[in-house]
Amino acid sequence: MDMTMVTAINELAADIHKGNRARGFWDGERNKGEMIALIHSELSEALEGLRKDNTSDKLPLHTAEEEEMADAVIRILDYAAGFGLNIGQAIASKLEYNANRPYKHGKKF
């Protein structure tokens, strides 16, 4: 991943965080555990959308699975920007690391 993508991811995170601050989600101290649980809840909602093969009730051009996966990414990027994480570089580093791992990381699944 080139630095342009790293920068773009970090800028997207910053934009999401700025919007969430403006809408009051960062008015007080944020609890990291609670925020991670909310990310997890979006993934659970994506699973339910997939299981039920639902269309999103808010985004008619998308499935519920797509909507909830987007919500999870948005929450992750907000968390990263809010706590000063260099998520763009972390993603790039992890992709580079994974590129050199064995098939299925040496596991059955």
Question: Is 85 part of any domain?
Answer: yes
Q: For residue 2, what pLDDT band results from cuts at 50, 70 and 90?
A: confident
Helix (H, G, I), strand (E, B) or coil at 86: coil
Segment 19-60, tens digit of pLDDT: 999 999 999 999 999 999 999 999 999 999 999 999 999 999
Please give the model's pTM, rounded to 2 decimal places. 0.93
pLDDT of residue 76: 98
Contact call for residues 13 and 81 (beta carbons, < 8 A): yes
Contact call for residues 10 and 86 (beta carbons, < 8 A): yes
Which stretches within 3-63 are classed as H helix? 3-22, 32-52
Total number of domains in the chain: 1
Radius of gyration of the chain (CA): 16
Helix (H, G, I), strand (E, B) or coil at 63: strand
Question: Is 107 part of any domain?
Answer: no
Question: Is 108 part of any domain?
Answer: no
For position 19, which CATH number holds?
1.10.287
Q: For residue 1, what pLDDT band results from cuts at 50, 70 and 90?
A: confident
pLDDT of residue 61: 96
| Range(s) of the domain holding residue 40 | 3-26+33-102
